Structure formats: C-alpha cells, structure tokens
C-alpha cells in the first residue's frame, strides 16, 4: 500500500484492480512498438515487451479536518458494464480500506473527478437487494456540469446503468453536493478544471506547508500520454479539448515541485514531470 505526505495531508492508495496489457481498447496508439522506445516507462508503467500496466484504485486524502475518498473504482455486484470482467465483481475493497485505517463509516467526503464507471462504483453497495450509499456519513461531491450532463443524456446505455446504480441512489439519499470545477474543498484541497475527457472533468490540487500534489483523474490515463500528449483516450468526450488540456497542464507541471499522482498509474503511481525534448516524461 502506497502512501504520500504532502505537508499535513496524507494520500493513501487502495487498489481494486491492476492489469498488464489489454489496454489497447482505451489507448489504441500505444502499441508495443510505440511504447518500447520510452524506456522511462519501465518497470512501473510498462513491461519489457511494451505492454502498459494500469491500475484502478481509490485515493484516500486525509487532511487535519477531513477524510476524503477521491474516486471509488468499479464496485462489487454491478451489472451492465461494457467490459465483461467488470460485471459482478467480488473484491475486497471495503476490507482493504478498513485495514488501511479508514473504515467506510469514518469517511466524511467522497469526491468524484468525473462520473465514469470506474470512478463511482463504490459510491454504493448492494444491501437487501438495494443500492445504498457505501459511505453513509459522507457528503458526495460531484461537479455540477458533470452531473447535469450525464443525468440528462440518453444515448449511452452503459452510462445510464452507472448513473442508476452508482449516482442516483446517493443523490436520492440527499448526500450529493454539486460543486463547480474550481471549488475549494478545504484549506488544503481544491479542484482544477481539466475538461475534455468529460464535460466537467476535474483534477484535485493538494497544497500544504509549502508542498503540492495533483491527483490527475483521467485527463490522462497513463504516463505514456506524458510522452505523447496527442494520444487521446477512446473514452474522451472531446478528444481535441482533451489534448489541449494535457499540453496546458504538462507545461505548467514540467519542472515544478508538484507531485503528480495518477488515478490509473500502476506501480510507483506518482512522480514529477520534466521536459523531454518536445514533450515530457515522468520521473519517479
């Protein structure tokens, strides 16, 4: 279990799934032949054959006053997911967070960078045949733009299933607070708009005692995109805007003393961006 300290803030990684290979459905340009020359990706982010390593994990952010879960993975017992292996999971996520010192009842805030399937699943859990809030003592923070977009569109059946079992139940329970893309959550935690992947996507900035970190969300899925900002994810709502966001964010982060914590980065998961010729790389 990985932990990072940013001043008075602790970030703890809780892994639900980690895979090597099988990522071409999300980053089709990241062929082994294109990945292998980027030796800095090994061993944390790619294997010796150029296959990408990716992770689905939650990040628990503990400040002096709050216990925040940033993104809640896939969740158990869910159905109607486009990727067959994501259906009817029976993972140990809840016991894992309890073992890390964060039993679900102790969480006071859930923060969703966006509302895709692998970021909201543990918002709810199956109990007595019903989807109920997993974190009963938490306020669930969702972007206003993001929420309005996904709860009013009817073109994607897979997202309708996600909203029905992982978003609507917490909203109906009165636990959702809709926030703006630049909202300040605590003295140490604020949101950064990083749109493109979804219409209201945000990243999470942590600043404490002169130290700084950024939790990416999905404005990039994998460090390979640090070397190739032009490589869009197939899940991006607006690929052109997503690329523009990556270039802008990477230029800000390159050489800055900001720990970049990747929402889907496997292995070391975090590092610092530096310039690498015309693009960038991550140093862990």
Domain ranges of the chain: 3-283
18-22, 59-63, 84-88, 128-132: least confident range: 18-22
pLDDT at 195 over 90: yes
Q: What are the tens digits of pLDDT across the range 64-101?
A: 999 999 999 999 999 999 999 999 999 999 999 999 99
Buried b (16+ CB within 10 A) or exposed e, 219-228: bbbbbbbbbb
pLDDT at 24 over 90: no
Q: Which of 85-94, 133-142, 148-157 has the lowest mean pLDDT?
A: 148-157
Threshold 0.85, pTM exceeds: yes
Backbone CA torsion sign across 151, 216, 158, 104: negative
Question: What is the distance between the alpha carbons of residues 274 and 240, in angstroms, rounded to a whole number?
Answer: 23
Mean pLDDT over all residues of the chain?
A: 97
Distances (CA, A) of 26 to 31, 115, 125, 157: 11, 17, 27, 19
Give the residue among 105, 107, 123, 118 at the shortest CA–CA distance from 60: 107
The neighbour count for residue 257, using CB atoms within 10 Å, is 10
Dihedral sign, Cα of residue 17, residue 36, residue 239, residue 185: positive
Distances (CA, A) of 88 to 120, 132, 174, 246, 273: 15, 16, 26, 34, 37
- Does 169 score more than 90 pLDDT? yes
**Cβ density class 28-65: b for 16+ within 10 Å, e for less:** eebeeeebbebebbbebbbbeebbbbbbbbbbbbbbee
Confidence of residue 50 (pLDDT cuts 50, 70, 90): very high
Q: Which strand (E) or helix (H) includes residue 88?
A: none
- Helix or strand or coil: residue 166? helix
SS3 of residue 164 by DSSP: helix
Q: What is the pLDDT of residue 25?
A: 86
Just give the CATH number of 3-283.
Answer: 3.60.15.10
DSSP H or E run through 150: helix 144-152
φ, ψ (nearest 5 deg) of residue 247: -60, -45
Q: How confident is the model at residue 157 (pLDDT cuts 50, 70, 90)?
A: confident
Torsion of CA 112, 115, 119, 121, to 10 degrees: 110
Q: Kindly report the number of other CB atoms within 10 A of residue 155's CB atom.
A: 6
Nearest Cα neighbor of 242 from 197, 279, 182 is 197
Mean pLDDT to the nearest integer, 192-211: 98
């Amino acid at each position: 279990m990985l932990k990072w300290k940013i001043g008075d803030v602790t970030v703890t990684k809780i892994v639900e799934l980690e895979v090597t290979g099988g990522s071409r459905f999300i980053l089709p340009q990241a062929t082994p032949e294109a990945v292998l020359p980027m030796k800095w990706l090994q061993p944390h982010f790619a294997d010796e054959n150029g296959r990408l390593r990716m992770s689905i994990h939650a990040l628990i952010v503990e400040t002096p006053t709050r216990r925040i879960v940033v993104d809640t993975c896939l969740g158990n017992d869910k159905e109607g997911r486009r990727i067959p292996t994501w259906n009817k999971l029976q993972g140990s996520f809840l016991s894992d967070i309890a073992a890390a010192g964060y039993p679900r009842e102790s969480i006071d805030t859930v923060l969703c960078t966006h509302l895709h399937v692998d970021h909201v699943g543990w918002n709810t859990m199956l109990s007595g045949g019903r989807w109920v809030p997993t974190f009963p003592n938490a306020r669930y923070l969702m972007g206003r733009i993001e929420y309005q977009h996904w709860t009013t569109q009817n073109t994607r059946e897979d997202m309708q299933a996600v909203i029905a079992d992982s978003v609507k139940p917490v909203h109906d329970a009165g636990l959702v607070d809709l926030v703006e893309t630049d909202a300040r959550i605590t003295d140490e935690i604020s949101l950064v708009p990083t749109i493109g992947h979804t219409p209201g996507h945000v990243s999470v900035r942590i600043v404490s005692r002169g130290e700084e970190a950024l939790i990416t969300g999905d404005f990039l899925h994998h460090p390979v995109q640090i070397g190739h900002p032009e490589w869009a994810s197939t899940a991006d709502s607006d690929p052109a805007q997503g690329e523009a966001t990556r270039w802008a964010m990477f230029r800000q982060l390159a050489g800055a003393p900001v720990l970049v914590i990747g929402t889907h980065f496997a292995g070391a998961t975090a590092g610092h961006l530096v310039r690498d010729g015309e693009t960038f790389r991550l140093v862990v």
